[in-house]
Structures are given as C-alpha cells and as structure tokens.
Structure 1
C-alpha cells in the first residue's frame, strides 16, 4: 500500500472514530432528553434486540389530541405525507405530498393496515389515539414508533423512535450516511407536525 492510500485509510478511520465518539449520539438523539432516550416506550417490544436506535423529540404547544391526527394520516399519496422535504422524498419515488389539513379518511388507522414506503411496506402495529402510533416493516428489521407524552400543561412531548436491525454488511455500511441524513429529514418532520398541531389547536376544532 503506497503512502497516499495509507494516509487516506488513516483519515477515514479517524473520521469514523470521531463520528462514533462525538457526533453519533447527538445525531441519533436530537431534541430528546436523557430520560427519553433511556425510557422504555411503546413499540420497543416489536424489535427487542436492535442493532441501532434513534430517539428524537420536540415540544409541541398543543395537547395530544391535536398532534395524533397528523401521525394517523402519514404516508404517501393519497395519505398526508411526511411533513418533511417532499422534493427529496419524491426523488426517491415515495410520492409524498405533505398535507396542511386533517384528512378525515385516514383518521382511524387499524392494526394490520399497510402503508407503502418505496420498497418498504410498513404495517401498523400500534394505533392508540392521543398516545402512541407505531409501524413495523414487512421484513421486521425496522420499527418506527411515536409516543405522545401529555405534560398536563397544554403541551405535548412528541417522541419519535426508530429501532433497526442490520443483518448484512451492506446494511451496516449504508447506515453510516443514512444517520445524519435521517436527522435532516426527521427534524423537518417534527417541526412540520409541531406547526400543524399548533395551528389546529388554535382553531379549537376537535378531530373525531
């Protein structure tokens, strides 16, 4: 191995170590408190031995009943989208169109309902209005769960947790760029849900 290759390999190794030690946890746990990161949450039981976990959270100035409708209708057209960067989602062929209004047809998700996300099919596993919503991929390697923690002061902590299993080397390598990319998308999503929920709360309209 020549000197240039050795230098490049060393730089990559140092970058990987730095990412693991300094950046990875803030990326995976953006917005979440230590207690939220360490808490057992609804949906954890759906993938008990993950290779990785992210827990991200945001405070919403609205009660849980104004937050849950946006979770219930998430998904590709004709569902309500993902409230993130639609143009990026659609470059991946996901057909996302983030709705700014509550879609009555998708307010009563049922256990077993399926939502297509590109090559993934997500099955609804938990649908507890104003409390929790979770989906699991068809291969069982990904669980995406949301918990709505009522703070009893008119606000809600919305906690998004991803648990994933990486059975192949290509999956583990692919996750390295996915982690910071997922923060960009999920941070936008959490802000999008927050803004929509706070606007809905301002109208005083209750979704049934």
Structure 2
C-alpha cells in the first residue's frame, strides 16, 4: 500500500529511498515503507555511536516510549559492542549491522512484523541519519490502509523527535571535540 507524501517520507532524498537497505531482505512483502532522514553536523562514526545508544532508550518522547525515564544524554560505554540478537529499544532485536554504517532491527509484533534500518552516512553537513521502516499489517477490523496511515502518522511524530534528539546530541558532542 502506498502511504502519501510527508507521512511516508520526512527528509529523505530520492537516491536514499531508491537505495537497497538491509531491512528490505527481512520484510520484502511489506505493506508500508517509511523513510526518515536528517542532516547532522558531526562525523559519521560519532553519529553511528549515537545510533548504538538506541540499545538503551528510544530517544523520542520519553514520557510515552521510555516509561517516563529520560534517555541517556551521554554516550554509554559498551553500547557499540554489537552482535546480532541483542535487544534495542526494548522491543526490537538487532538483526545485522555494519560499523559506522547501519544497524538493522527486527520485531515480530506491534501488530505485524517490523524491520528497520538506521544508517549513518556521509552528508552535506558531515553526516546524515537515514531510516527505512517496513511494516506488514495484519488483517485489521478497520482495514489495512487505515492501519497503515495511522501507524505512519504516529511514526512520523515519534521518529522525527527521535532523529532530532540524536542529531542534537551528536552535534553537541562534535562541538565539544
């Protein structure tokens, strides 16, 4: 199903949305494909390190998605020691990763399976965070399209905050160096 405009794509360029990502292999028959991206004035390795922080917390609206606990504001030692199968953001499992490039996460639930790749790539200001999220909607009483629109809109609000928080923290750390 095709989700319209800014609900499906916030900040991602055409070349990013066309590029294959590791999550595509996990859920090739996704009903919903979402793209999110933001420029970051920090080096790619630092941005990737902040993506690894998603092991500790979601970095979105902590009251809603982190049980009221504040997401760590400093890098936590060891969170960049990655291996497939470790948990991320409570509900997700690390499927694959490439150092200083991406982490790809998976969950079978929510409802329906979700696969997501968070990538730290070179960008015009130093780096870019690019995210592709795939979702397969189960049969729902109010329809798959309505469920897709609802999920996409909710994700836009939450992930926008997440990416802006990660950007701000990486830029703060880059300015300190």
Shorter-chain TM band: 0.7 to 0.9
Indicate the residue corresponding to 2:38 in structure 1.
58
- Asked if 1:89 corresponds to 2:65, the answer is yes
Indicate the residue corresponding to 1:155 in structure 2.
126
Q: What stretches of structure 1 of length at least 5 have no aligned partner? A: 1-19
Count, aligned residues:
173
2:14 to 34, 40, 53: 34
* C-alpha contact (below 8 Å) 1:66/1:198 kept by paired residues: no
* C-alpha contact (below 8 Å) 2:103/2:117 kept by paired residues: yes
CA distance in 1, matches of 2:116, 2:152: 14
Secondary structure in 1 matching 2:4:
helix
CA distance in 2, matches of 1:164, 1:26: 17
1:142 to 101, 104, 114: 114
Runs of 4+ in 1 over 4 A off after TM superposition: none
TM-score between the two structures when normalised by the length of structure 1: 0.74
* C-alpha contact (below 8 Å) 2:54/2:89 kept by paired residues: no
CA distance in 1, matches of 2:89, 2:49: 19
Which stretch shifts more, 61-70 or 35-44? 35-44
Shift of 1:102: 0.2
Shift of 1:123: 1.5
* 1:102-121 equivalent positions in 2, closer than 5 A: 102-115=75-88, 117=90, 121=91
Indicate the residue corresponding to 1:189 in structure 2.
162
Shift of 1:87: 1.2
TM-score between the two structures when normalised by the length of structure 2: 0.86
- CA RMSD across the alignment: 2.4
* C-alpha contact (below 8 Å) 2:32/2:148 kept by paired residues: no
- Asked if 1:199 corresponds to 2:169, the answer is no
Shift of 1:95: 5.9
Structure holding more helix per residue: 1
- Relative contact order, higher structure (CA 8 A, sep 6+): 2
